[in-house]
Amino acid sequence: MTRKMVLADTSKCTGCKACTVACKEWNQLPAEKTQLVRSYQSMRTFTPDTWTFVSFDENYSGSQMHWLMRKAQCFHCADPACLKACTSKAISKTGSGYVVIDADLCIGCGYCAENCPFGVPKVDDQKKKAFKCTGCIDRVENNLKPMCVQTCQTGALEFGERDELMAKAKKRLAEVKGKYPKALLYGEKEMGGMTHSYILLDSPEAYGLPSNPAAPLALTLWKDIIRPVGTVAVGGAAAAVVFGILGNALRGNYGPPESGKGGKE
Amino acid sequence: MAVERLKVEGQVAEGKVLRFTGGERFSHWLHVVSFFMLLFTGLGVFTAGFHPLMSLVGGLQIARLIHRVVAVIFVLGAGAMFFIGDSRYHRDWLRSAFSFSEADKKHIKAFTAEFFGGHAAYPPQDKYNGGEKINSLLTICGSAVITVSGLVMWFAPNFPAGLVDWAYPLHDLAMFVMTAAVIGHIYLSLIHPGSRASISGMLTGYVPEDFAKAHHAVWYEQAAENKSVAK
Amino acid sequence: MTNSWTDLQNSRCFLIAGSNCAENHPIAMRWINRARDKGAKIIVVDPRFTRTASQADIFAQIRPGTDIAYLGAIIRHILVNKLYDKDYVLNYTNALYKVSKGYKFDAGLFSGFDAKGKKYSIDTWGYQLGPDNKPLKADSLEDPDTVFAKLQEHFSRYTFDKAEKITGIPAAKIKEIADTFCQAKPATILYALGMTQHTTAVQGIRSYAIIQLLLGNVGKAGGGINALRGEPNVQGSTDMANLFNSLPGYLPAPIGTDKTLRDYLVRNGSIQEKPLVALLKAWFGQSATKENDYCFNYLPKYNLSVNASMVRIFDLMNKGQFKLLINIGSNSLVSIPNRQMVRAGLAKLDMLVVSDLFEIETAQFWREPGVNPAEIKTEVILLPAAFVYEKDGSLTNSGRWIQWKDAALKPLGESKPDLEVLDSLFRRVRQLYQGSTDPKDEPVLKARWDYGQEPSALKVLQEISGYDETTGKLLPTLADYLKAPAGSVSTGCWIYTGVTGNGNLAARRKNGDPSGLGLFKDWSYAWPANIRILYNRASCDANGQPVDPERKLVWWDPVARVWSGNDGPDVVDKTKGPDTPEGKQSFRMNPEGVGRLFAAKYTSGMPVTPPADNLSPIGLRPAGLCVDGPLPEFYEPVESPTSNLLHSEVSSNPLVVIPATVPGIQKVGKPEDFPYVLTTYGVVEHFCAGGVTRNIPVLNELMPGPFAEISKNLAQKIGAQDGDTVEVASARGKLRVRCLVTDRLQTYKVNGKDTETIGIPWGWGFASLSPGPGANELTIGALDPGAGTPEYKACLVNIRRV
C-alpha cells in the first residue's frame, strides 16, 4: 500500500471533539472520569483508553485572541522512536506509513512510552500492554478513511495519499500564512516524515509540541551503540573462552589432572 | 572455640587453606543465583528472541514479576553481606577491589597470555590477584549501575523523563558488562586448567595449599605468618 | 433559513451574530469553510470569544442584548454613504412607499402607544393609500414621506460612537464590520438563539432584514438571512405549529372572537381560506363540509390577552390552572428560564406525564435536592421514549429540507416511538368518549385518524402532503393544490404539499449538483415546491435576468416565456414575465409583493366598497406585523447595568411581558445588587438540556461539568483562580459552579464604565450521570412581546468566590 497521510488543518478546527468520540466508538474504548484541564480541554493527556483528544490553548496578545485547538494523536512517524525502543518486536511500520503495536507481542514494558517524544503510547497496567492510536489501519486497509477523518465536519481533517496531500498542505499553508504569519507545516520532515501532519497557526511550542522532535539521545546510544557493542562484547567473551580452552588444550595444560598446578605450566 | 578458629581465613588444614568464610561464600552464591535469575528474566523483557523461553517460569509477566522480586533480593543481599558472617572480609574485599598495587598491574598485563593458556611472568599476588580485582570492580560498578537504573525504570513516574531515558541504556550496558565478565569468571573458575582449583574455595571455603602458594603467595605468606599453622 | 446549509459555500462574507454555529451547529462550519477556501470573510459578534469566533477574521465582543445598537449604526452607515443596492431597493423593497402622515417616533416610543395597556394601536403605522386601497408610491427616495426617509430619520441617531457606548464594541471596529460586510456581495447573516432570546428578539431580526434588503442580499445564492435552527427538527416542529398562536403551515390560530370561518378570514385575509379548509379536511375528512364551516368550530381558540407561550404556561401552572401536563421531548425543568417557577408549577399539577429516554430532571422534580417529596402531590408517569434512530419519520432541517429516514434500530426494551404513544393515547381517549352526544366531544369523535393499526409515519407525512378529497388520491404537487377549489383537497400543512405526491420525495438521496451552487434539488424535498433559496426572483434584475453571473438561480426565458432555472423559481406564476405585475413580485408572500424595510400595517386586496350586507370586508392578504414597532429600536434588556443611552425614560422594551401570576416569582434585579451581566449558552459536547447526552459517558468525558466563564480582571477582583468554585446569584436564584478564567472574555466599557460579562452554560441539572447546576437557576422569564421568547441571553448577577 502506498504511503498515506492525514492532514489536520488547525485553521479549520473548531475543537468540537467529534474525532475523540468517533475514535472511542470505533475502537470501543471506555470513557474515563475527567475534569476541565484548561480552557475547554477535558483530557489532559493520552491514556490506554484515550488515543486522541483535542488540546486547547488560549493566546491573547495585542487585543487579539487566538484560540489554538489541536487534535492530538500518534503521528505515525517514518522514523518512530517507539519502534526503536521496543525490545519485543511488537511495534512495526506498515507500508502505508502507520506504526502499529501488536498486542500479542507487546509485554507492556513501557519503553515505547518513555521514548516517544510526544508521549503517545500508554501502558495499561492491568492488561500489561501498550496502547495508542492505530491510525485506524483496520479501516485504511479496507479503503475507508480513519474514523476521526470520517467524522470531522469542518474539513479540518483530510485523508489521502501522502504525496498529494503534502502538496495540498503546502498550498494551504501559503493561504493560512496570510492571516497567521507564524503558521507552519509540522510533520513533513519531523521524525523522518509523519503520517499525521499539521498545519499549525503558531509555533509548535504554542501547542505544546517540540520544535525539533527527536528520539532521545539515550535511545540512540542504547539501540545503536550499546546494544550492538554489548552483544559483540558478550560474544567476544564467549569466543575468548573458547580460544582459552583451545589454547590450554593445545599447550597440553589439560594433561594429567593435577589440580592446583595446571596454571603454572 | 576451635570451630571459630578454623573458620578464620588463612587456616591451613590437611594441605588446605581457608580462603572464603561462610559469610563470603553465602554472599557470592546469593549474588550468583540472583544475577542469573535476573539475567534470564531480564533478557526475556529486553529481547524478543528470549520471549519463548519465559514459558519456563510461567510466562513473560511472571518473568517480569520474578525480575522485580529477585532484584530486591539482589540488592538486599549485597547490603546484607556487610552484616552477616564476618563482615570485615567483605569490607576487605571491597577495599582491595579499589586498590591496585604494582603487582596487580603486572598481573593484569600477564592476564591475556594466562587466559589463553600461555604464561607471562608476574609478581606474587595477594588474596585477590589483579584479574580478580578487575572482575570485582566490574561486578561492584555493574551492580551499582544496574541497581540505580533499575530503580529509576521501576519507579519511572517519580523521576524526570530525561533521567528515565538514560536508565534504559545504562541498565543494558551494565548487563552487558557483567555478562561478559561472568563468562570469563566462569571460565577461569571452572574450566581454566590453571585456576579452576579456586572453585573449591567458593564451595568449601578451602583452596589447596599449593594453589594458594602459587597464585596468592603474598596472601599465603601473610596468612602463614600471622596465623598459627595447625598441622 | 431563507437559503440552506449547502448554500453557505456561495457566500463571500458571513456576519455570524447571535449564533455560535461551530458550537451548536457544527455542520455549518463545513460549508462556511468551503466559502472561506474561496476567500470569504467571517465576522463574529458575540458576548464571548467562542469556538466560532476562533474562525473569524473580525471578532467583536458585544454586551449581551445590545445588537440593535450596532446594527442600527451599520444601517445608518449604509444609508449615509449610499452603500445600498439602489436598483434592488427601488424594485424589490417598499422604500418608495409613502408612510401614513400620523406615523411618529419620539423618545423611545412609536405613535399609538397605550401606556396603560402596554401595547400599540398601530393604525398610524400604515401606508398612505390611494383610492384603489393600494399604497401610494413616491417618485424618488428624496420624498420625505417615504419609508426610505423614515428609515434615514430613525437611524440617524445610531452613530458609531453611540453604538460603542452602548455595546462596548469600539466604534472603529463597528465601522470595520460595516465596511467589510457591505463591500462583499453576496453576504449572509447567520443567527440563532443568541439573537432571538431577548426582549427585543423580533426587532433584532428585523434589523438583519433591513440590512440585507438594503444591500440586495436577499433571494440570492450566498446571501439571505439564515436562522440556524436547533434540534434537527426544530424547523419541522415550527412548521407543524409548535407555537400557541399558529396552525400548521404558519396559518394564524383562531382567537376567541373568530366565531366563524368568515370572522377568521376577516382578520387573516381570504388567502388563508384554502389552506385552513384543507387543514380542516385533513383533520376531519368527510365531516368537514362547506355547510358546517368545515368544522371550523372544532378548532381551539386562544385568548389574545393570555398569550400562553411556554413561560406563560408554567406561570399559569403556579396559579393552579392545569391539572395535567404531558411533557414530551423537552426537559422543562432545565430548559425554562427561572426554573424555580417551573419546579413550583409542576408541584401544582395532579399528574405529570414525561416521555423521554432517561429519567430526566423534569420527571424527578419531586426529588430534587432541597425538595421534600412528601409535600409533592403530583403523580408522575414516565413513558420510555424511543430514540431518534429507533423510529421512522422525517426531520426538516434549517434549510427547509424535509428529509425522510428509516428506523435503524428496534426500540430498546419497552420504549416506543412518539407516534405510537400518541396514537394509542388518542385512540383510548376516543374510546372513552364513545357514545357521547355532547357537541364539545365532536372533535375527538370525528377526527380523521387512520394511520393504520400499527401507526405508520409515512401515512402521517402523506396526510401532511395532502389528498385530493374527491378521489382519495395523493395530491401530486403544490401546483395541483393551488389549482384545486377550496374544500376539494386536504393538506395537513399546506407548505409541505407534494412531499409525498409522486413517491416519497423526502427520501430522495441523489446528491448531484449540476449548478455547483449546492442546490441538490434531487436530495430530499424542500418546502415550498422544492425551492431551495427563497425569494430567488430577487436574484434577477427587472428584466428577469440573473444579476450575478456566477450564481445563477432562476431567470425568465423570453423565448419559452417561462421562468426557469437551476432552482425552482419563487414566483407567483411561472408564465408571468417580468413585464407583468406578478412577474415583478420578488416577495410574493408579502401583500405588497416586495421586501418590507418598514413593517407597515397593510392588507392587500381590500375591496374599495364594503360588502353590501354590512359585513366586515375581507382583504386578500394582511401583512405580518411587529407588535413593538414598524422599525427596530434599541431597548436595554430588562435587567441591564445601565439605562438606555438613546432614551433613558424608555429604557427597556415598553411592551415587554414578565409573567408573574404569583407575586415574587419573577423578581427583577438592580445593578447595584447584581453588577455583572450574565449570558447563557450551550456547549458542543452536550445537546440542549442534556437529558440524553449527560447520560452518555463518552460525552461527559468531553465536557465533565458546567462552569462560569469570567475575565481575568473579574477573577482578580473576586480573588478567584481557574478551577475555584464560585457562587453566582441573581434576583431569582443562585448556583455554585467551577470558575473558568479566560481571556476569551474581556472587560469592556459601557458609556465609559468598566463592565463584565459572565458566561454559564445552561444544559445541566441535578440528575443524570453528570449532574450540575444550570444557568436557568438565574435567568429571567421576561418575554419578547411579539414572539414570546424569554430573555435567556441577558440578565444581572453577582459573583463571589466560595
Average pLDDT of C707-729? 98
Task: Determine the Cα–Cα distance for residues C745 and C759; give it in Å rounded to an integer.
Answer: 9
Domain CATH code at residue B105: 1.20.950.20
Q: Please, what sign has the CA dihedral across residues C57, C60, C64, C67?
A: negative
Query: How many C-beta atoms lie closer than 10 Å to residue C610's C-beta?
Result: 11
Chains touching chain C, criterion 3+ CB pairs below 8 Å:
A
Q: How far apart are CA C276 and CA C784, in angstroms?
A: 27
Phi and psi angles of residue B129, each rounded to the nearest 5 degrees, phi first:
-85, 175
For residue B146, tell me if it sits in a domain.
yes
Three state DSSP letters for C112-160: CEECCCCEECHHHHEECECCCCCECECCCCCCCCEHHHHHHHHHCCCCH
Interface with A, mutate which of C24, C54, C737 (most A CBs under 10 A): C54
| Cell numbers that stand for C157 in this block | 441617531
Probe site for chain A from B12, B55, B116, B153 (most A CB atoms < 10 A): B116
Residue C569 is placed in which grid cell? 423559481
Distance in angstroms (rounded) separating the CA atoms of residues B8 and B11: 6
Confidence at residue C231, expressed as pLDDT on a 0 to 100 scale = 72
Q: Do C26 and A39 touch (CB under 8 A)?
A: no
B203 found inside a domain: yes
Average pLDDT for residues C314-336, to the nearest whole number?
95
CA distances from A189 to A80, A195, A196, A212 (A): 12, 10, 12, 10
CA distance B160 to chain A (A): 11
Integer Cα distance of C175 and C170 in angstroms: 9
- B221 plus B131 within the same structural domain: yes
Q: Which three cell numbers stand for residue C494?
A: 399546506
DSSP state of C725: E
Give the residue from C171, C201, C230 where a domain finishes.
C230
- pLDDT for A265 equals 29
Distance CA B132, CA B160 (A): 37
Q: What is the per-residue pLDDT across A52-95, written as a single tens digit (0 to 9) for each?
A: 999 999 999 888 999 999 999 999 999 999 999 998 999 999 99
Residue ending a domain, choose from C230, C254, C284: C230
Assess whether B122 and B210 both reside in one domain.
yes
Q: Give the other-Cβ count within 10 Å of C257's Cβ.
A: 12
- My answer on whether B124 and B93 are in the same domain is yes
Quick count: other Cβ atoms within 10 Å of Cβ C356? 21
Which residues on A lie below 8 Å from B186 (Cβ)? 241
Q: Are residues B118 and B171 in the same domain?
A: yes
Residue type for position A13: C
Same domain, yes or no: B45 and B158: no
CATH for the A4-207 domain, from 3.40.120.10, 3.40.630.10, 3.30.70.20, 3.40.50.2300:
3.30.70.20
Residues B224 and B140 in one domain: yes
In-domain check, residue B19: no
Model confidence at C319: pLDDT above 80? yes
- A234 interfaces chain B, CB cutoff of 8 Å: yes
Helical (H) or strand (E) element with C729: strand C725-729
Q: Are residues B70 and B100 in the same domain?
A: no
Domain boundary among C230, C265, C289: C230
CA atoms of C780 and C663, how far apart (whole Å): 14
From chain A, the residues in CB contact with B197 under 8 A are 259-260, 262
Strand partners, B12: B17
> Angle at CA C178, nearest 5°, toward C143 and C551?
85
Contact A128 B61 (CB under 8 A): yes
DSSP type of residue C624:
P
Provide φ and ψ at A26, rounded to 5°.
-65, -40
Cell readout for C23 is 458550537
Range of the domain at B168: 86-231
Same domain, B81 and B96: no
Structural domains in chain B (count): 2
What is the rounded distance in angstroms from the CA atom of residue C434 to the CA atom of residue C451? 19
Helices (H) and strands (E) in chain A, counts: 8, 10
pLDDT in tens, C437-450: 999 999 999 999 99
Q: Which residue has the cell 471506555?
A: A30
Residue of B66, B125, B173, B207 best to disrupt the A interface, most CBs of A under 10 A? B173
- The reported pLDDT for the residue numbered B221 is 76
The C-alpha cell 465609559 sits at C752
Counting one residue from A and one from B, how many pairs have CB atoms under 8 Å apart? 132
More confident residue, C188 or C304: C188
Classified as helix, coil or strand, A197 is strand
What whole-number distance in Å separates Cα of residue C574 and Cα of residue C579? 13
Strands (E), C162-231: 187-191, 225-227
Helix (H, G, I), strand (E, B) or coil at A203: coil
Q: Report the distance separating Cα C461 and Cα A248, nearest Å.
A: 101
Residue B198 main-chain phi, psi, to 5 deg: -65, -20
**Helix spans in C240-376 (H):** 261-268, 273-284, 310-318, 332-335, 339-346
Asked if residue C20 belongs to a domain, the reply is yes
Q: Which domain holds residue C43?
A: 5-95+155-230
> What 8-state DSSP symbol labels residue C110?
E
Residue of A nearest to C26 (CA): A153
Are B175 and B207 within one domain?
A: yes
Tens digits of per-residue pLDDT, C328-383? Answer: 989 999 999 999 999 999 999 999 999 999 999 999 999 999 999 999 999 999 99
DSSP state string for C774-788: -GGGT----B-TTT-
Distance from CA of A92 to the nearest CA of C (A): 30
Contact flag A248-B117 (C-beta cutoff 8 Å): yes
Cα–Cα dist C743/A66, whole Å? 10
Largest CA distance in chain C: 79
Partners of chain A (3+ Cβ pairs below 8 A): B, C
Write the CB contacts of A90 (distance below 8 Å, at least 6 apart in sequence): A101, A102, A103, A104, A105, A106, A107, A130, B48
Whether C576 is in a domain gets the answer no
Taking alpha carbons only, the member of B137, B189, B179 closest to residue B35 is: B179
DSSP-derived secondary structure letter, C657: B
C577-617 pLDDT tens trace: 999 999 999 999 999 999 999 999 999 999 998 888 888 99
Termini Cα distance of chain A: 67
Question: What is the distance of C-alpha A196 from the center of its chain?
Answer: 11
Tell me: the pLDDT tens digits for C462-484? Answer: 999 999 999 999 999 999 999 99
* B5 found inside a domain: no
> In this predicted model, which residue has the larger pLDDT, B130 or A103?
A103
The alpha carbons of chain A give a radius of gyration, in whole angstroms, of 25
**What φ, ψ does residue C463 adopt, rounded to 5°?**
-65, -40
B59 lies in the same domain as B131 = no
Torsion angle defined by CA atoms of residues C2, C6, C7 and C12, in that order, rounded to the nearest 10 degrees: 130
C-alpha cell at C38: 474561496
CA distance C244 to C310: 9
For residue C156, the model assigns a pLDDT of 98
The number of distinct structural domains making up chain C is 2
Do B52 and B154 reside in the same domain of the chain? no
Cα angle C668, C674, C676 (rounded to 5 degrees) comes to 115
Yes or no, beta carbons of A42 and C703 under 8 Å apart: yes
Which helix (H) or strand (E) element contains residue C604? strand C603-604
Same domain assignment for residues B53 and B98: no
The contacts of residue C49 (CB under 8 Å, 6+ apart) are A65, A67, C59, C61, C743, C744, C745
Decide: helix, strand or coil at residue C609.
coil
The tens place of each residue's pLDDT in chain B, 231 residues long, gives 333 334 455 556 667 788 888 888 888 899 999 999 999 999 988 888 898 899 999 988 899 999 999 999 999 887 777 777 677 788 888 888 888 888 778 888 878 887 887 777 777 777 787 778 888 889 989 999 999 999 999 998 899 888 888 999 999 999 999 999 999 889 888 888 878 878 888 888 888 888 887 778 777 777 766 554 433
In a domain, B9, yes or no: no
**pLDDT tens column, C62-120:** 999 999 999 999 999 999 999 999 999 999 999 999 999 999 999 999 999 999 999 99
**B181 in any annotated domain:** yes
Q: Are C7 and C183 in contact, with CB atoms under 8 Å apart?
A: no
C374: number of CA atoms within 13 Å, CB side? 0
Could you say which of C30, C57, C698 has the minimum Cβ distance to residue A21? Answer: C698
| Average pLDDT over chain A, rounded to an integer | 92
pLDDT for the residue C141: 96
Cell of A180: 497567521
Domain-located, residue C545: no
Distance CA B212, CA A264 (A): 12
Place of cell 558472617: B85
What single string gives the DSSP state of each residue in B160-190? -HHHHHHHHHHHHHHHHHHHHHHHHHHIIII
Q: Which of B60, B85, B110 is the last residue of a domain?
A: B85
* Alpha helices (H) along C402-489: 418-433, 442-446, 457-465, 478-483
Query: What is the chain C residue with the closest CA to A20?
Result: C702
Which residues, listed in sequence order, are joined to residue C351 by a DSSP beta bridge?
A: C324, C379
Task: Establish if C60 belongs to a structural domain.
Answer: yes
